[in-house]
């Protein structure tokens, strides 16, 4: 291959079919290029997606901080009305998710993600103009619509990373949601401490203004610097790097220039696996969304002033950040997902039981919040990785990710609607506990089911049916391919 030839002048098929040669020198050369490529992906894609998710998570969870900073009181909203403001965000969030995932290749990731970031940034700025809970609810629904498009990010990562690398990268990507919660707490603390009497805005209005401006500005960085899918990169990668990026994507059971196949959308719902992940993920999101929206109010109920309540959310999110990185990396090292999800759910479940049963010790209740954060945050990227490595093919993965997310957000709406009695939120927390038990049960069933399926695949390796299916592509038959084995 001519090293001076640029990727855009080369045919995609040619790139994906390049003969790697049998010589040791060629193999060693490819190893060097592969290491350089992984570093380039980590340093170019991961930071942009990570920052993008920070801004999304900040704009999503800032409502809890704004509530403690006086927004609910200024709008004259009751507890039930404020619950609607928090909950109906997920209506928009649900609607947008299949659009982002199914049209990821057609529209182009940098376009989808930058558009979403710009829209939610502008709408967050407009939140400071709201005069009543109805206006705030409407804006939150549209913020949810734009942020829902970002849920295609795990699918985008699966096009660039191998399954054995996704746990760590997904954890880095998602861990920033906890970092965003900490940032919100620090920003809100600083604003309430120093901007409580700084016209023309109140502290909660300053919060929306600052965070909205940051998101809007970052959208342009996303548009110009985030690479598209591997086969469409035009700059920043050499011809050899592009060739190996495509090869890595194929190794992760992706197909070059894959299109949405409508028949595979319906076929996806005929396998039990998608329902296992759906229930497991729903319990996780029910817990996570409730915690994000109502933790500042819960902490304030422990006797802290509104200013100090903002600050006291920071250590909880710090625990979540460390836990997500650690367990995400551990899932890659051990190449197991389900057993970790079960163990982590137990931690979070203990934390929620403490919040439900303990009333006299604020220290114990605060430890309960830390246990929830330690357990529930890492479950999100691990379950999504678990789904990504076991449901293969672009259409199947896109359908699975959007469906799993949509169903989870529906139950998140229900859970948020039950958080109406601060600071103990008994009904809401009881609902979350029930769903987490269901989630843990689903994970255990999933582990057993995958173990049985792998055993069947090994036993059927030399059957006529297996020989016939080997002639079919992974895109065509997905995880039914005889050479594909499931990850527990």
Query: What's the confidence (pLDDT) of residue 433?
Result: 95
Contact 80, 422 (CB under 8 A): no
pLDDT at 91: 87
CA dihedral over 206, 175, 285, 158, signed as positive or negative: positive
For 406-450, the pLDDT digits (tens) are 899 889 888 888 888 888 899 999 999 999 999 999 999 999 999
Q: Supply the mean pLDDT for the chain.
A: 86
Lowest mean pLDDT segment, chosen from 192-201, 379-388, 468-477: 192-201
Tell me which of 485 and 17 has the higher pLDDT.
Answer: 485
User: Using 50, 70 and 90 to split pLDDT, how confident is the model at 196?
Assistant: low
The arithmetic mean of pLDDT across residues 15-27, rounded, is 57
Q: What average pLDDT score do residues 186-200 get?
A: 68
Is pLDDT of 243 > 70?
Answer: yes
Q: Are 136 and 120 in contact (CB under 8 A)?
A: no
The pair of three-digit structure tokens given for residue 405, joined into one six-digit string: 């997310």
Whether the pLDDT of residue 1 is over 70: the answer is no
SS3 assignment, position 487: coil
Kindly write down the DSSP assignment for every residue of 43-111, as one continuous string: HHHHHHHHHHHHHHHHHHHHHHHHHHTTHHHHHT--HHHHHHHHHTHHHHHHHHHHHHHHTHHHH-HHH
Per-residue pLDDT, averaged over 379-400, amounts to: 90
How would residue 10 be classed by pLDDT, with cut points 50, 70 and 90? very low
- Region 329-356 average pLDDT: 95
How far apart, in Å, are the Cα atoms of 259 and each of 242, 270, 363, 475?
20, 21, 54, 10
Q: What per-residue confidence (pLDDT) applies to 453?
A: 93
- Residue 466's pLDDT is 84
């Amino acid at each position: 291959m001519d090293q001076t030839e640029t990727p855009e002048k080369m045919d995609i098929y040619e790139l994906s079919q390049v003969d790697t040669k049998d010589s040791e020198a060629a193999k060693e050369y490819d190893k060097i290029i592969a290491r350089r490529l992984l570093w380039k992906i980590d340093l170019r894609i991961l930071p942009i997606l990570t920052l993008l998710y920070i801004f999304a998570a900040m704009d999503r969870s800032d409502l809890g901080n704004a509530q403690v900073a006086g927004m609910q009181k200024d709008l004259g909203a009751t507890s039930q009305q404020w619950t609607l403001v928090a909950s109906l965000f997920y209506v928009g969030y649900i609607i947008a998710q299949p659009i982002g995932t199914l049209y990821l290749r057609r529209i182009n990731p940098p376009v989808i993600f930058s558009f979403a970031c710009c829209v939610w940034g502008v709408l967050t700025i407009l939140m400071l103009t709201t005069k009543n809970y109805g206006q705030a609810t409407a804006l939150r629904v549209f913020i949810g619509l734009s942020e829902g498009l970002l849920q295609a990010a795990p699918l985008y990562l699966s096009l660039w990373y191998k399954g054995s690398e996704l746990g760590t990268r997904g954890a880095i990507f998602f861990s920033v949601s906890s970092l965003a919660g900490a940032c919100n707490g620090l920003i809100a603390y600083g604003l309430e401490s120093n901007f409580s009497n700084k016209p023309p805005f109140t502290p909660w209005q300053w919060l929306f203004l600052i965070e909205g401006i940051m998101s809007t500005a970052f959208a342009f960085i996303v548009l110009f610097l985030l690479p598209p899918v591997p086969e469409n990169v035009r700059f920043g990668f050499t011809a050899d790097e592009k060739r190996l990026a495509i090869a890595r994507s194929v190794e992760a059971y992706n197909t070059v220039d894959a299109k949405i196949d409508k028949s595979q959308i319906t076929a996806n719902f005929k396998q039990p696996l998608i329902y296992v992940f759906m229930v497991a993920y729903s319990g996780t999101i029910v817990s996570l969304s409730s915690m994000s929206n109502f933790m500042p109010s819960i902490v304030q109920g422990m006797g802290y002033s509104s200013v100090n309540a903002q600050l006291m959310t920071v250590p909880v999110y710090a625990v979540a950040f460390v836990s997500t990185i650690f367990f995400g990396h551990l899932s890659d090292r051990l190449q197991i997902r389900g057993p970790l999800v079960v163990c982590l759910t137990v931690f979070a479940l203990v934390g929620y039981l403490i919040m439900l049963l303990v009333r006299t010790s604020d220290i114990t209740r605060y430890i309960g919040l830390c246990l929830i954060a330690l357990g529930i945050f890492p479950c999100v990227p691990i379950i999504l990785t678990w789904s990504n490595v076991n449901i293969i093919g672009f259409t199947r993965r896109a359908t699975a990710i959007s469906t799993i997310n949509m169903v989870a957000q529906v139950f998140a709406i229900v859970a948020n609607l039950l958080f109406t009695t601060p600071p103990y939120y008994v009904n809401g927390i009881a609902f979350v506990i029930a769903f987490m038990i269901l989630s843990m049960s689903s994970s255990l069933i999933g582990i057993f089911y995958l173990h049985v399926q792998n055993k069947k695949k090994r036993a059927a390796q030399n059957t006529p049916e297996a020989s016939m299916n080997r002639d079919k592509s992974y895109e065509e038959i997905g995880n039914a391919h005889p050479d594909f084995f499931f990850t527990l």
